[in-house]
Amino acid sequence: MSRPRVAILIFFVAFAALLVAIHLPYLTLPFFWDELGQFVPAALDLYHDGALVPHSTLPNVHPPGLMAYLALVWRIFGFSILSTRLSMLALASAGVLFSFLLSIRLSRGNVGAPAFAAVLFLIATPIFYTQSMLAQLDLPVMTFTALALLLFLDERYAACALACTVLVLMKETAVTTPVVFGAWLWFRDKRRREALYFVAPLFAMAAWLLILKRATGHWLGNPEFAQYNVAESLSPVHIVLALARRVYFLFIADGRFIGALALFAGWPILRGRNWTVATLVAAAQILIVTVLGGAMLERYTLPVLPILYAAMAAAASVYPVGWRRTSHIAMAALLVVGLFWNPPYPFPWENNLAMTDFVRLEQDAASFLEALPPGKRIATVWPFTDALRHPEFGYVRHPLQVQDAAGFGLDDLANLDRARIDMLVVYSRVQPLEGHALDVEPIRLFLRRYFDYRPQATTEELSAGLGYVPIVRWVRGGQWIEILIPGQ
């Protein structure tokens, strides 16, 4: 084995060891939110009976790449939460390695070892930390985007097209990357034959859509998915809000404003073919997840972070040595703080370690409910409903009898037939705005209108208005879960 390959292997092992070490407390963490709602059930369908289109969960446009990867891992090592978490950390380790090599390629000639700073930023990023262990799509997309871009810059176009084919089979929105590569080769470099290589990923995506259409009758898997993620997301207001949210997350949140200042100071040095191609890949990815996708989740931006951090680290090379070190240390420190600190506004629990508090609370409640005499009828809201129904998700040893409630609003819970339930479980699905510094009427109206924010019914409202009696409550990291029983 050549010295460069030995060095690459050593770096991969080092990155993998580091990621596993910092995730040790969570390697057996039960499945969280969309894991148990979509990706793990879909992977289990493929694992058990070879179904590319899932039948135990609602099918949608997401390709089966991640599910095939998980099914293969389970076929070799057996299905478990541990094997799932470690398989995702392996992809994350490869992503860190490719991001490191990409930063070296992009920042060649810059002082201050920017590739090490870029990797430090990535590993310290809260959403990278959480997504590294979750069976979801955006971390694999980040890994294969970094690999594809690295191969393209090295002019290994056939290998790049292969990486892009795997990439689009991980997530449909990643199709922008081979489009950028093909268009660049066709129009800018006039390398028409190599440009045609990048038709292969488009054919792979088209083949998946045909399979999905034949199995479900819908090009996107189901009409509700299409309505929420395409029709509704194309409204001008939604696009403007999504763009603002992307800009805030990428250039301000979690200390990234420090990197944005470095970008402003050192932008002139980020020139040339390599930086232009990388910027186009990042911009195209941000554009598609801004225009499409109803949820506007921050994890959708994960594939551009290796490019962004490489640019921030390289741009900081214009600083004097002392300033550069201070800038890097301050930004990395604030990124780490963001892993533990919750912002004063509603945010997805998966953005930082709040997700682990959410899972631990559900574990506590599930253990309490499972210890009760059999046959108790439990009403609650997804995803806790699925956690109680499916032992494979890590919360219970046997299925419990669960009824779905429409939501945790007072009107939703008032529509439950109390005569048909023995327990009501309510919990904090989002961080409440009430009681925080931003709890003012204009912001409340804005969030309710454009982000579907609805306050949950309080214990007092459930007791006084609907007659429920609280019997036990758990609190962790500002989140809570509570079990009530119908009053007599």
Closest CA to 482 of 424, 435, 432, 433: 424
Residues with Cβ within 8 Å of 69's Cβ and at least 6 positions away in sequence, in order, are 87, 91, 140
Q: Which among 70, 60, 71, 68 is positioned nearest to 209, based on CA atoms?
A: 60
Q: Is the pLDDT of residue 120 over 60?
A: yes
Q: 């962790």: which residue's tokens?
A: 476
Higher-confidence residue of 438 and 208: namely 208
Average pLDDT (422-440) is: 79
Q: Decide: helix, strand or coil at residue 80.
A: coil
Residue 231 has a pLDDT of 76
Q: How confident is the model at residue 421 (pLDDT cuts 50, 70, 90)?
A: very high
Distance CA(447)–CA(296), nearest Å, equals 13
Residue keyed to tokens 């028409």: 192
DSSP-assigned states of every residue in 190-211? --HHHHGGGHHHHHHHHHHHHH
> Which residue in the block uniquely carries the two structure tokens 């990535």?
122
Give the C-alpha separation, 300 to 243, whole Å: 12
Domain layout of the chain by residue ranges: 3-341, 351-486
C-alpha distances (whole Å) from 84 to each of 74, 132, 142, 380, 412 are 8, 11, 18, 27, 35
For residue 186, pLDDT beyond 80: yes
How many Å separate Cα 424 from the centre of its chain? 30
Of 262, 250, 277, the C-alpha closest to 149 is: 277
Among 41-50, 112-121, 165-174, 381-390, whose mean pLDDT is lowest?
112-121
- Cβ neighbours for 65, distance < 8 A, ≥ 6 positions apart: 140, 166, 169, 170, 171
Q: Is the pLDDT of residue 233 over 70?
A: yes
Report the number of secondary-structure helices (H) and strands (E) in the chain.
23, 5
- Asked if residue 230 has pLDDT above 60, the reply is yes
- pLDDT over threshold 70, residue 177: yes
In the predicted model, is pLDDT for residue 8 greater than 80?
A: yes
Half-sphere exposure of 326 (CA within 13 A, CB side): 6
Query: What does the mean pLDDT of the chain come to?
Result: 93
Task: Please say whether the beta carbons of 42 and 57 come within 8 A.
Answer: yes
Q: Tokens in use for 216?
A: 């479900």
Averaged pLDDT, 311-331: 96
Torsion of CA 430, 436, 441, 446, to 10 degrees: -40
Q: What are 341-397's pLDDT values in tens digits? A: 998 888 999 999 999 999 999 999 999 999 999 999 999 999 999 999 999 999 999
Pair 191, 181: CB distance under 8 Å:
no
Q: How confident is the model at residue 292 (pLDDT cuts 50, 70, 90)?
A: confident
Output the pLDDT for position 237: 85
> 């292997």: which residue's tokens?
9
- Tell me, what amino acid is at 86? L
Query: Does CATH place domain 351-486 in 3.90.980?
Result: no
Cα–Cα distance measured from residue 91 to residue 55, given in angstroms and rounded to the nearest whole number: 26
Rounded Cα distance between 205 and 169, Å, is 7
Cα dihedral 90, 96, 101, 102 sign: positive
Query: Taking a C-beta distance cutoff of 8 angstroms, is the pair 289, 304 a contact?
Result: no
Predicted pLDDT at 109: 66
Q: Are 19 and 93 a contacting pair, CB within 8 Å?
A: yes
Of the chain, the percentage scoring pLDDT greater than 90 comes to: 81
Q: Is the pLDDT of residue 289 over 90?
A: yes
Per-residue confidence (pLDDT) for residue 436, from 0 to 100 = 61
Residue 112, pLDDT score: 63
Evaluate the omega torsion of the peptide bond into residue 373 and state whether it is cis, within 30 degrees of 0. no
Arithmetic mean of pLDDT, 408-432? 90
Which pair of structure tokens corresponds to residue 104? 């070296």
- Residue 452 clears pLDDT 80, i.e. is over it: no
- If you search the block for the tokens 């199995």, which residue do you land on? 215
Element (H, E) at 416: none
Q: Which of 275, 63, 72, 73 is nearest to 173 (CA)?
A: 63
296 against 299, higher pLDDT: 299
Range from 79-83, 109-113, 237-241 that averages highest in pLDDT: 79-83
Looking at residues 209-234, what average pLDDT do you find?
88
φ/ψ region of 311 (left if φ > 0, alpha if ψ in -120 to 50, else beta) reads alpha
